[in-house]
Structure 1
Amino acid sequence: MNYTTQMDAARKGIITNQMRIVAEKEQMSVETLRELIAAGEVVIPANKNHPHLDPEAVGKRCRTKINVNLGVSKDHNDYDEELKKVQNAIDMKAEAIMDLSCFGKTRDFRRKLIDMSTAMIGTVPMYDAVGMLDKDLKEITVDEFFSVVQQHAEDGVDFITVHCGMNQKTAERIKRNPRLTNVVSRGGSLLFAWMEMNKKENPFYEYYDRLLDICAKYDVTISLGDACRPGCTHDATDAAQIEELITLGELTKRAWEKNVQVMIEGPGHMVLTEIAANMKLEKRLCHNAPFYVLGPLVTDIAPGYDHITSAIGGAIAASCGADFLCYVTPAEHLRLPDVNDVKEGIIAVKIAAHAADLAKGIPGAQAWDDTMSKARVDVDFDTMIKLAIDPVKARTYYESSKPECEGTCTMCGKMCPARNMKRILAGEDITLNED
């Protein structure tokens, strides 16, 4: 039996190879997974032209997945450095990589990225349009916008972010309700500007069915972008954000009518007490479609440490229903991240994702922690280091300060409670003052 997308297959009762792989990873029956995909509550972003993809699921009852952003800008366009970031992300088992390049030979890099990557690949075609078409934003035509989307789909991109909810109605809401940080979404701001300069509707909203037809042909998952995500805690959960979210819910249903898989993108910046309500609001308004969040960053005052402000919010968001976390690096708001920034961002978001999986009771999450705890009570540093989320850093720290007493660390030495309790419970004496 033929099918166009993973959702189409699921609705026809077909179990795809991707579903089998994912079901095993998620410790879920393949029939349960199929039902969740058919309902739109889980997606498997898997472009038909991505040959080496190791498929992953995003959504209900699945492990919280993470995304790594990278790509060049006009001011920093070293593609070799970006490829190092890519390899770093793959080695650290990030489930997704988004190429946000907006300058130069983006297609060459994108094709190389897709060819080498087992992780799912996402892009924002709007970023690429200005550079690839080499035209002023105002002069880009509707057909040209869609030609960029078509190219990304042909190349094998698994999911695309398109800010379809930034329509004329939403734009008016922004103008009538001034925000402290206006529109901070790069793609959203570009579309807002194009609409204002041309006095026209957002082409991706006006011709949404055309976008869906491209996605259906290649099984590209559409990530409905949050152009109105709050760029500071002051702007969180305001009229523009909610206006757009309602629109995204309507667009989700239209996509499902064509068997196109959908994710919803969310905030942004917001204080701790608003996160849970925002997760519930998205799930309700967008019919339980998977939710993909940037952060949320829980305070605005920590440039250089926003991987931490983001991880705090991300852990809470995912524990309250978010399914997919986009990492934030220490360089956020300051510059294009370097290779080390990328690593720091990945580690922070992986911690957040796992913390949320523990709270959600995801199969296998607690077992990892329990195995680490067993190694600690056994004072087995080799096993502890192997189990660490960053084994390289853990070993570097441990070996940089050698203890006097073997089998301990320099924090406690012979007073190590794990070592001493193990010996006392085994009926042995302990000595603290002897050499």
Structure 2
Amino acid sequence: MIYKTQMEAAKKGIITKEMSIVAEKEYISVDKLRDLIACGKVAIPANINHKSLSPEGIGEGLKTKINVNLGVSGDCADYTKEMDKVKMAIDFGVEAIMDLSNYGKTNTFRKELIDYSQAMIGTVPMYDAIGYLEKDLMKIKAIDFLSVIEAHAIEGVDFMTIHAGINRRAIESFRGSNRLTNIVSRGGSLIFAWMEMTGNENPFYEYYDDILEILRKYDVTISLGDALRPGSINDSSDAGQISELIELGMLTKRAWEKDVQVMVEGPGHMAINEIAANMTLQKRLCFGAPFYVLGPIVTDIAPGYDHITSAIGGAIAASHGADFLCYVTPAEHLRLPNLEDVKEGIIATKIAAHAADIAKGVPNARDIDNKMSDARRRIDWEEMFSLAIDGKKAREYFESTPPADDQSCSMCGKMCAMRTTNKILNGETVEFC
């Protein structure tokens, strides 16, 4: 049978090679995976033109995936540095990379990125439209936006953030919400400005069916952007956020009717006590579609440490149903992240994702923790370093102040609890001199 997308294949009972690969990675039966894809609860973003891709599943019952944002800006337009970030992200095993470049002709870098990356590639076509088309925002026509979407699809982009939910109805709710931070989504603010300046409806909403036809042709997953996500904990769960979420639920069903896979994006900034309810609400309003969250950042007062505020929120969100975490770096709100910022963001987000997988009982999630614990019991440093998320840093810490006895570290020395207990259980005498 012929099929265009992973969802269409699943609905027809076809098991694709991508489904088989993902099922093996996730310790799940391929038949169960196919059924989850057919009903939209799992997506495998896999553009037919992304030949280097190692496919991953995002959604119910699967490991929490993480995404790394990168790309140039007008103030930092060095693509070599961005490719260094890409290579490091791949080395750390991230599942997705989003190119958020918003300056100049970005397609050369994007093509190199797609050719190189085994991770999924995402973009926000709205960002690229101004540089790609070389037009002022007000002069861009609806057909121009669609042309950028198709260009990205042809290049091999696996998923695209499309801000289709910020329509006239959602804007009315936003205007009445009296926010502290208004619209903090870059793409959302540009769409809002375009709508206000031209007097037109959101082109991504008005021409949604045309967009779906483009995405279906190349099997691009639509990531429904949350243009009205809260940019401060004061603004979370307000009318603007929820009204847009309702729109995104309706857009989800329309995409599924066209066999286009969907992810739904979520907050943003949010106090800890609101996170669980928001995850439940999203899944309910969007019919169980995979949920992709930025953070949530749980306090607004930690610039320079927002990889930590985000990891706290991300762990809670994923343990309550979020499926995909977008990393946040220490540079969030401050600058374009450098290589070290990207590393810190990746590590913090991987910790959050893995902690959530343990909490929600993802198959085999605890296995590596049990191996690490066993290596600690045996005081096998090399094995510990090999199992660590960042083994290089762990080794550097250990070796920076070497212990006199390699059966301990420099903190406890010969009073190491593992060493003491091992000796007693082995029938040996514990001595400190």
Per the shorter chain, which TM-score range? over 0.9
Q: Which residue of 2 aligns with 1:157?
A: 157
1:295 aligns with 2:292: no
Q: Distance in 1 between matches of 2:116 and 2:256?
A: 31
- Which residue in the other structure is 1:319 paired with? 319
Where structure 2 has 5 or more consecutive residues not aligned to the other structure, the ranges are: none
Q: Which residue of 2 aligns with 1:420?
A: 420
Partners of 1:175 and 1:316 lie apart in 2 by: 30
TM-score scaled by structure 1?
0.99
Please say if 1:358 is aligned against 2:358.
yes
Equivalent-residue separation in structure 2 for 1:399 and 1:363 (angstroms): 35
Query: How far, CA to CA, are the matches of 1:5 and 1:20 in structure 2?
Result: 15
1:171 aligns with 2:197: no
1:205-224 equivalences in 2 (<5 Å): 205-224=205-224
Q: Which residue of 1 is the match for residue 271 of structure 2?
A: 271
Match runs of 1:101-180 below 5 Å: 101-180=101-180
What is the CA deviation profile of residues 184-234 of structure 1, one whole-angstrom value per residue up to 9, with x for unaligned ones?
Answer: 000000000000000010001011000100010000000000001000000
User: What's 2:371 paired with?
Assistant: 371
SS at match of 1:365: coil
Residue 175 of structure 1 deviates from its aligned partner by 1.4
Distance in 2 separating the partners of 1:86 and 1:180: 35
SS at match of 1:89: helix
Q: How many Å apart are 1:426 and its aligned residue?
A: 0.9
- Paired position in structure 1 for 2:257: 257
Correspondence 1:64 to 2:47? no
Question: Which residue in the other structure is 2:84 paired with?
Answer: 84
**Separation in 1, partners of 2:43, 2:315:** 21
Instruction: Tell me which amino acid in the other structure corresponds to 1:85.
Output: K
Whole-angstrom CA distance in 2 between matches of 1:90 and 1:128: 23
In structure 1, the residue corresponding to 2:401 is in which secondary structure? coil
Per-residue displacement from partner, 1:298-330 (whole Å, max 9, x unpaired)? 000000000000000000000000000000000
User: C-alpha displacement at 1:347, in angstroms?
Assistant: 0.2
Q: What 5-or-longer segments of structure 1 have no aligned partner? A: none
Q: CA deviation at 1:105?
A: 2.2
**CA deviation after TM superposition for structure 1 residue 171, in Å:** 1.1
Q: Distance in 2 between matches of 1:396 and 1:283?
A: 43
Q: Report the equivalent of 2:195.
A: 195
CA deviation profile, 1:327-372 (whole Å, cap 9, x unmatched): 0000000000001100000000000000000001111111111110
Aligned counterparts of 1:410 and 1:383: Cα–Cα separation in 2: 18
Amino acid in structure 2 at the alignment position of 1:183 = I
C-alpha distance in structure 2 between counterparts of 1:341 and 1:259, whole Å:
38
One-letter amino acid of the counterpart of residue 267, structure 1:
P
Question: How big is the shift at 1:176?
Answer: 2.0
Task: Give the corresponding residue for 1:232.
Answer: 232
Equivalent position amino acid for 2:317 in 1: A
TM-superposed CA distance for 1:142, in Å, is 0.7
Give how far 1:407 is off: 1.8
CA distance in 2 between counterparts of 1:347 and 1:365 reads 17
Q: CA deviation at 1:172?
A: 1.5
C-alpha displacement at 1:406, in angstroms? Answer: 2.5
Q: What count of residue pairs does the alignment treat as equivalent?
A: 433
Mapped partners of 1:202, 1:176: distance in 2? 19
- Corresponding residue for 1:24? 24
CA distance in 1, matches of 2:340, 2:363: 31
2:121 aligns to what SS in structure 1? Answer: strand
3-state SS of paired residue (1:264): strand
**C-alpha distance in 2, partners of 1:69/1:80?**
15
Q: State the alpha-carbon separation in 2 of the partners of residues 398 and 16 from structure 1.
A: 46
Once the two structures are overlaid, the 10-residue window that deviates more, 170-179 or 118-127, is 170-179
Deviations 1:224-249 (A, max 9, x none): 00001000000000000000000000
Whether 1:4 aligns to 2:1 is no
The letter of the residue matching 1:406 is D
Q: Secondary structure at the match of 2:366?
A: helix
Identity %: 65
Q: Does 1:410 align with 2:410?
A: yes
* RMSD between superposed Cα atoms in Å: 0.5
After superposition, what is the alpha-carbon deviation per residue over 1:135-191, rounded to whole angstroms, capped at 9, x for unaligned? 110110011110000000000000000110000111121112221000000000000
* 2:35 partner letter: E
Over residues 362-386 of structure 1, what are the superposed CA-to-partner deviations in whole Å (9 max), with x where a residue is unaligned? Answer: 1111111111000011111111111
TM-score (ref. length: structure 2): 1.00
What secondary structure sits across from 2:2 in the alignment? Answer: coil
1:12-68 deviation digits (Å, cap 9, x = unpaired): 000000000000000000000000000000000000000010000000010000000
> Which residue type is aligned with residue 64 of structure 1?
T
- The one-letter code sitting in structure 1 at the alignment partner of 2:106 is T
